[in-house]
Amino acid sequence: MDPFKPRRAGITRCQLRQYQRVLSGVYVERGAKLTPLVRARAAWVWADGDCVLSGISAAALHGARWLPDSPPEIVYPRGVRNAGVIAHRDALRDSEVITLHGLRVTTPVRTAFDLARRRPLDEAVVLVDALYQSTRLAPAQLRRFAEGRNGSWGIQALRAVLELADPGAESPQETRLRLLIVRAGLPRPRTQRVIRDEHGLFIARADLAWPEWKVAVEYDGAHHFTDPGQARRDAHRANDCQRAGWRVIRVLPESLRAPEVLLAHIREALAAAGHRG
């Protein structure tokens, strides 16, 4: 069952014990996972449809993954107190609102614009990367949108996100790894770089790479070790990359907890490959 208001759904107070509250006066089935998408739908019901879903809620409707567990966001004409909803009073142009699944929501570019201005920098980059992946939004489109809104609140934060975001990132860990590398003063790596053998045959697609030096960095999540089939594929791929003259640095989750060791390893690999910097 979708989020609902008990009175409109004909649910009695006694029956309401079978459900869980999402927002003030809005419920879902007990045990339902309160995902960003469920929270977004609940905010729509809470506002009786008199709103536009924005920010994290809009990103959820656009299919973005890895969203934070935070209150739903809407553009709403009235003030809100203690309802569990973040309400903005943004002035939206008609071109900045579309309808998805019967709900009004900010367009991908407007959603990215809002997230970049309102979220901490690293989180904003992760979220904009996710929107690049889930929609047809491109950096050039977001840049043009920002240029048309010079003087808007948070525009400097948006420009910082534009410089750091990348449509090739396929997970938050990849984004954070890329930010670590760039901030260390290393050359900016390319994302999702295809590695081929001497005959031009596909070997692998590296998360991050410097093709001019044949150095790649791969983030290995838990499934690379818990799935025997994945582990075998990784071993064969590593051997094939080495035969093609590539140095591949595999990054484990714990590697990001000791960034200086990781960065030293990357610097050494680049230097050995001919990078001077």
219: containing domain: 172-272
The pLDDT of residue 219 is: 93
The pLDDT of residue 257 is: 87
Q: Is the pLDDT of residue 231 over 60?
A: yes
Of 52, 85, 105, the last residue of a domain is 105
Provide the token pair at 74: 């809407």
| Residue 73 shares a structural domain with residue 119 | no
Q: If pLDDT is split at 50, 70 and 90, which confidence band does 223 have?
A: low
Provide the token pair at 159: 């420009």
Q: If pLDDT is split at 50, 70 and 90, which confidence band does 266 have?
A: very high
Pinpoint the alpha helices (H) of 24-99.
36-46, 55-61
Ranges assigned E (strand) in 211-245: 215-219
Whether residue 277 lies inside any domain: the answer is no
Of 84, 105, 126, the last residue of a domain is 105
Whole-angstrom Cα distance, residue 142 to residue 214? 31
Provide the token pair at 209: 């790479």
Task: Write out pLDDT tens, residues 139-188.
Answer: 999 999 999 998 899 999 999 999 999 999 999 999 999 999 999 999 99
| Residue 207 shares a structural domain with residue 232 | yes
What value does the mean pLDDT take over residues 82-104?
A: 94
Counted domains in the chain: 3
State which H helix or E strand residue 52 sits in.
strand 52-53
Q: Is the pLDDT of residue 82 over 80?
A: no
What value does the mean pLDDT take over residues 50-63?
A: 98
Q: Is the pLDDT of residue 90 over 70?
A: yes
State the pTM of this model. 0.92
Whole-angstrom Cα distance, residue 128 to residue 13? 42
| Sheet strand arrangement including 190-196 | 190-196, 202-210, 215-219, 247-251
Q: Is the pLDDT of residue 30 over 90?
A: yes
The pLDDT of residue 147 is: 94
Whole-angstrom Cα distance, residue 240 to residue 205? 12
